[in-house]
Structure 1
Amino acid sequence: MKYAFCNLLLLIIIHSGYSQTKIIDEDTHYPVSYATVSFGNGQGLFADDDGSFIFTKKRYPDIDSLFISALGYKDLALATANLSKTIIMQAEADKLDEVVVIAKVDRKFKKETIKPYLDDDYYKCWLPTIESEIAVFFPNENEKLKKITSVLFPITLESKDWKKRKRANADKRKFSTLFKVKFYKNENGLPGNVMTYTNIVFRVTEKNGDEFELDVSEHDLFIPDTGFFVSIQVLGYTDQNGKLLPNKKYKEIKGKNGTVKIPTNFRPLLPFTDEIETHNTYIKRVFINGNNWVQFKNGNGIESSLLKTNLNNYGVGINYNAYKDE
């Protein structure tokens, strides 16, 4: 029995190896980490840190084309029939040239904080799915040079026992989830060009409490005159080492009119607030090519129970250095 189980495990491992596809850079042959793999029907998945993802016709029988995109690379469209085990992407030099490298600033500064809005009420939370990216706008209030040092993401934990959900010391549901973060310039009130082409990701677990602080000081992100957007996008669950798991990102529910695909919700929950007067939050569906950002507010065609109770904003906070004039 033990011998049969070992053989079965070996077959599973071999099958997984053969079903894996890897995305690499044309020049360096380095992996293209966390590339977006769209199915052309509003669904998709992400490559992991090694540029690998699992796609088989058995797992996705109705998908005949893949559309692959990544920061700093030319978009790619491929047929799923006889899909190669290695996909090569070309760097888009014109886009890379747009990022301006700012020299290190060596002068006195004052540390400033915009506090996040925290809430542990489950009913006031956004349920993250990999199809949606959430961006929050931060205006630039004055002409001082400012460098972003960290971002403060509010999160809400869930109690294992629903009846004990209001108790601060209740045991929390375990999770290990990977998120991707982007910084955008403000372009006519919407997220525009990215401020860095570096992949910025973080893993959060229930041990992080109600706030995750992401250190971005090494990326030299200086706040533009017209302000900026910071976005968050869930990539999926990970193993205990932070490796992205190849779990299916949507559920299939069979009904009278055929099969309906519903995106899987991932933990942790993201608390929204009604304490911000302006509408600073925007959303985008990431697996639809050329999809536009939409301000998260009533009247913009968004179906959300949060908007019905005026929960218009995801209250992200930041820490930054405000440099003194020379």
Structure 2
Amino acid sequence: MIRVKFVFIFFVAFVSTNAQTFIKDSETKDPVSYASISFGDGQGIFADEEGMFIFNKKLYKDVDSLFISALGYKEAKLASENLKDTIFLEPKIDKLSEVVITVIPDRKFKTEKLKPYLDDDYYHCWLPTIESEIAVLFKNEDAREKQLTSVLFPIALESRDWKKRKRSNADKRKFSTLFKVMFYENNGGLPGEPIVNETIVFIATEKDGDQHELNVADYKILIPPSGFFVSIQVLGYTHKQGKLLPNKKYKEVKTQTGIVKIPTNFRPLLPFTDEVNGARTYIKRVFINNNQWKLFKKGNGFRSSLLDQGLTNYGVGFTYKVFKEN
């Protein structure tokens, strides 16, 4: 057993030492956190908080090009055979909407809440994979001025013992998963330009219960008259200190006809609902389909048991301030 552990540790150390690549800002030389590394064929991975990712030909034999992208930077393309220890991304200056991001004066307000839709039924849940980003539309129903304060992401917990899954006190499977969150303008019913030009992440664990509350009050987001989209995307599992672990998008399974790549599913599961009025949920396959948003509904290219059950929306909740008129 000691020898096996030693060999494993040596292998991990060898791969980590010889395959690490860091992504940095070309001007400041600071790390570019959580950048997307697409391989151009439906595969991809993410860099961690330090801008580091692991890539070599032993891990990805059939990949010859890498496409590096991150919020606020120009995309970079390079050949895998020319991969260096450090990749520098050139900043892209984007003008944010002054209507959305602004200084909010001290005013009287009341807090309102849109509750999330919770469900622990395994068969009512989306199984997150790292290529899928889910965006939900928040409709602004009236002309009152509002500021977003938190987002409530519903998550489903799984029991270790399947037979006890319906018991509230059942022992739950543990997980520590890093998610990325984005806020987009409502561009004619589709997610448009980012509202917040920062990378926002959070770690979800089984200790959160059936929802994770993300505080966004510091971003001073005034809700546009046309509403906005909030999205969630899994980046992968983390270790105990919260650092993103190397996560392969696919598991490779040998069959009689060759190698089959099966998408890796991450926990927690994300419950969908049929209780939201209208279709408000959009899906984007980050590394495929030209990175285009598609409404999650039947006949739109999705094959999902959720749609067969009429579960078309991820039931995100919100809290927000409603300002009183002067």
Q: Give the secondary-structure state (helix, strand or coil) at the position aligned to 2:290.
A: coil
Q: Identity percentage over the alignment?
A: 60
Q: Which residue of 1 aligns with 2:164?
A: 164
Quote the Cα distance in structure 2 between the aligned partners of 1:255 and 1:6: 31
Q: Give the secondary-structure state (helix, strand or coil) at the position aligned to 2:71.
A: coil
Structure 2 counterpart of 1:320, which letter? Y
Structure 1: gaps of 5 or more residues: none
Quote the Cα distance in structure 2 between the aligned partners of 1:288 and 1:106: 45
Q: Which residue of 1 aligns with 2:271?
A: 271
Structure 2 counterpart of 1:145, which letter? E
Shift of 1:9: 3.9
Shift of 1:289: 6.8
Structure 1 counterpart of 2:44, which letter? G
Cα-to-partner distance string for 1:70-127 (whole Å, 9 max, x where unaligned): 000001111000310100000001x2x2343411321111101011000111110000
Does residue 13 of structure 2 align to residue 13 of structure 1?
yes
Cα-to-partner distance string for 1:12-71 (whole Å, 9 max, x where unaligned): 425412210000000000000000000101110100000000001000000000011100
Shift of 1:262: 1.6
On the 8 A contact 1:178/1:234 being kept in 2, the answer is: yes
Quote the Cα distance in structure 1 between the aligned partners of 2:173 and 2:7: 34
Q: Which residue of 2 aligns with 1:141?
A: 141
Aligned-residue CA RMSD (Å): 1.8
Quote the Cα distance in structure 2 between the aligned partners of 1:267 and 1:306: 17
Q: Which residue of 1 aligns with 2:245?
A: 245
Q: Which residue of 1 aligns with 2:314?
A: 314
- CA, structure 1 residues 248+112, in 2 after alignment: closer, same or farther (shift >3 Å)? same
Quote the Cα distance in structure 2 between the aligned partners of 1:157 and 1:254: 31
Shift of 1:5: 6.9
Does residue 203 of structure 2 align to residue 188 of structure 1?
no
Q: Which residue of 2 aligns with 1:205?
A: 205
Q: Which residue of 2 aligns with 1:89?
A: 89
Does residue 80 of structure 2 align to residue 115 of structure 1?
no
* 1:42-81 pair list within 5 angstroms: 42-81=42-81
On the 8 A contact 1:38/1:288 being kept in 2, the answer is: no
Q: Give the secondary-structure state (helix, strand or coil) at the position aligned to 1:307.
A: helix
Q: Which residue of 1 aligns with 2:220?
A: 220
Structure 1 counterpart of 2:50, which letter? D
On the 8 A contact 2:45/2:247 being kept in 1, the answer is: no
- CA, structure 1 residues 30+125, in 2 after alignment: closer, same or farther (shift >3 Å)? same
Structure 2 counterpart of 1:312, which letter? T
Structure 1 counterpart of 2:134, which letter? I
Quote the Cα distance in structure 2 between the aligned partners of 1:51 and 1:72: 14
Q: Which residue of 1 aligns with 2:35?
A: 35
Quote the Cα distance in structure 2 between the aligned partners of 1:4 and 1:264: 26
Structure 2 counterpart of 1:77, which letter? K
On the 8 A contact 1:99/1:196 being kept in 2, the answer is: no
On the 8 A contact 2:155/2:270 being kept in 1, the answer is: yes
- Which sits farther off after the overlay, 259-268 or 64-73? 259-268
Structure 2: gaps of 5 or more residues: none
Q: How many pairs align?
A: 324
Q: Give the secondary-structure state (helix, strand or coil) at the position aligned to 1:207.
A: helix
Cα-to-partner distance string for 1:259-285 (whole Å, 9 max, x where unaligned): 222210000000011111211111000
Does residue 96 of structure 2 align to residue 98 of structure 1?
yes
Q: Which residue of 2 aligns with 1:128?
A: 128
Structure 1 length normalisation: TM-score?
Answer: 0.95
- CA, structure 1 residues 57+140, in 2 after alignment: closer, same or farther (shift >3 Å)? same
Q: Give the secondary-structure state (helix, strand or coil) at the position aligned to 1:311.
A: coil
Quote the Cα distance in structure 2 between the aligned partners of 1:51 and 1:228: 29
- Which sits farther off after the overlay, 248-257 or 19-28? 248-257
